[in-house]
Amino acid sequence: MLSQHLPILLVVVPLLAAPIIVLLRRSFPSWLVATLASIATLAIALPLLARAVSEGVISYAIGNWPPPLGIEYRVDAANAFVAFIVSLIGVFVMPYCRHGVSSEVRAEEHYLFYAMMMLCLSGLLGILLTGDAFNLFVFLEISSLATYVLIAMGRDRRALVASYQYLLMGTIGATLYVIGIGLLYLQTGTLNLADLAVRLPAMGDPRSTLAALAFITVGISLKIALFPLHLWLPNAYAYSPSAVSAFLAATATKVSIYVLMRYFFTIFGETVVFDARYTGVILLALSLAAMFIPAVVAIFQTDVKRLLAYSSVSQIGYITLGISLNSVGGLTAAVAHLFNHALTKGGMFLVLGGVVLRLGGSALDRMAGLGRTMPIAAFAFVIGGLSLIGIPGTAGFVSKWYLVTAAMAEGQWWLAGAVMLSSLLAVIYVWRFVEVAYFREPPEGLPPPGEAPLTMLLPALAMIVACVWFGLDASWSGSMARAAAEALAGGWK
């Protein structure tokens, strides 16, 4: 009986946890409820993914109103896999918060912090599972509003400005998205995504469809932080509490990328988006720009958190490059990198959070001699860095391999070279950390900081180990990415 309700339970469990946490008010019980809720979401997401892969599309009618009329939750391999990624990251991040947050958020605000984390999780999962264009917007707002609050909770006063900046950009993005679905609704009279996918091709290719496509693409690209629209991201990641940076870097932009893929391939269809116009070329150009320009900017950062943030913008370029290839291979690479980059960047931010706790800041200069004073953290960070570069044996290599193979299958040999060149830039910014941490003397006169507490170190190490694990054995993640890509390209038939 319960198994048929899995799609809704995945969203409802964290949604219920948030108000319960607000009622509890105390720091420890709040953390406990949040952690249990995040474990429960993973326990729901796993069987849901298994069912979606074996059975195909699962449809769930909210309130028992039959689909195009009522709100439908529609799950297939693609969104079930991304939902699995999001809940997995949640399980890593929530236990970490116990100590990670205590030093960065005021004690009397702890319960609000956990409530916001739960709302953010619930919103992200809702975006993924819903089959309704407007419901998607509502969840986009829930997760975004929670995110703005979480970023503003950073102890640096600049966190407020960063949050405000993101609020402005995010609101513009959400508004553009709503204008887009408004245009689609005017044309087709439906908000159900599957119904839209059936009705839009029958409309032909009128100008209002194009306007809707343009509004939705730009709106969602703002949330993705696609290259020229990424300006909110570095500050938001740099000044938010470490656990929040890790959670957002691993989930928020990824969920928006899923939305973009869903609209491009399932709803508008590749004939409208790619074959009839230059979307592919534009997206390719922007992806290339994203792979190079933010990577160069990352090299010149003096703060490790900002360095990772710019690296995130650069890595998003690889994912959108996979989308721009407009093939199942390219989509597989995009989804695989979604998963691998979530593990890598999430793990690196978690390790960095422990370092920041002990050193009191994330400036690169403070990390001098870290290889000796915090050997485990420094080593884990370097492994994560290797995965960012794409060294064989790490998760980052697997997705870059898929990407290069997909590019070659399309006959775009030069793209392989571009991916290699951009990886070299990653070598430089990772090397800057290695140089400071291993080839500089630790500051004298200060007591050695010691490793981070176990509750922080273990989740961080678990993610880094996962990053190596899925680099050595990519059969499961690869097959999931392929199933997701086929589900996206095949449409909701």
Partner 1 sequence: MRLDVILRVLAKLLIPFAVMFASYVQFHGDFGPGGGFQAGVIVAAAVIFYGLIYGLPSAREVVPDVLVEAMIAIGVLVYAGVGVAGLLLGGNYLDYFVLDHDPVHGQHRGIFWVEVGVAITVSAVMLKIFYVFAGRRRDAGGEDS
Which residues of the shown chain bind partner 1 in the complex (CB under 8 A)?
A: 1, 5, 8, 12, 15-16, 18-20, 22-23, 25, 60-64, 157, 160
* Count of helix runs (H) and strand runs (E) in the chain: 20, 2
Q: How far is the CB of 197 from partner 1 (least distance, A)?
A: 23
- Give the residues across from 303 on adjacent strands: 363
* Residue number with CB closer to partner 1 (10 or 225): 10
Q: How far is the CB of 392 from partner 1 (least distance, A)?
A: 46
Tokens encoding 58:
């699962």
Q: How far is the CB of 177 from partner 1 (least distance, A)?
A: 23
Collect all residues with Cβ–Cβ distance below 8 Å to 358 and sequence separation of at least 6. 374, 449, 450, 451, 452
**Nearest alpha-carbon partner for 209 in 280, 136, 263:** 263
Query: How far, CA to CA in Å, does 172 sit from each of 39, 160, 222, 223, 234?
Result: 34, 18, 8, 10, 18
> Do the Cβ atoms of 252 and 147 come closer than 8 Å?
yes
Question: How many Cβ atoms from other residues are within 10 Å of residue 201's Cβ?
Answer: 13
**Alpha-carbon distance 383 to 377, whole Å?**
10
58 SS3 class: strand
449 SS3 class: coil
* Residue number with CB closer to partner 1 (15 or 246): 15
**Alpha-carbon distance 193 to 127, whole Å?**
12
Q: How far is the CB of 159 from partner 1 (least distance, A)?
A: 9
* Residue number with CB closer to partner 1 (63 or 445): 63
- Give the residues across from 130 on adjacent strands: 73
Q: How far is the CB of 386 from partner 1 (least distance, A)?
A: 38
Q: How far is the CB of 114 from partner 1 (least distance, A)?
A: 12
> Do the Cβ atoms of 488 and 267 come closer than 8 Å?
no
Q: How far is the CB of 210 from partner 1 (least distance, A)?
A: 36
First-last CA distance in the chain: 26
**Alpha-carbon distance 230 to 168, whole Å?**
13
* Residue number with CB closer to partner 1 (5 or 277): 5
- Dmax (CA) for the chain in angstroms is 74
* Residue number with CB closer to partner 1 (19 or 443): 19
* Residue number with CB closer to partner 1 (63 or 447): 63
**Alpha-carbon distance 237 to 373, whole Å?**
26
Q: How far is the CB of 73 from partner 1 (least distance, A)?
A: 9
* Residue number with CB closer to partner 1 (25 or 277): 25
* Residue number with CB closer to partner 1 (135 or 312): 135
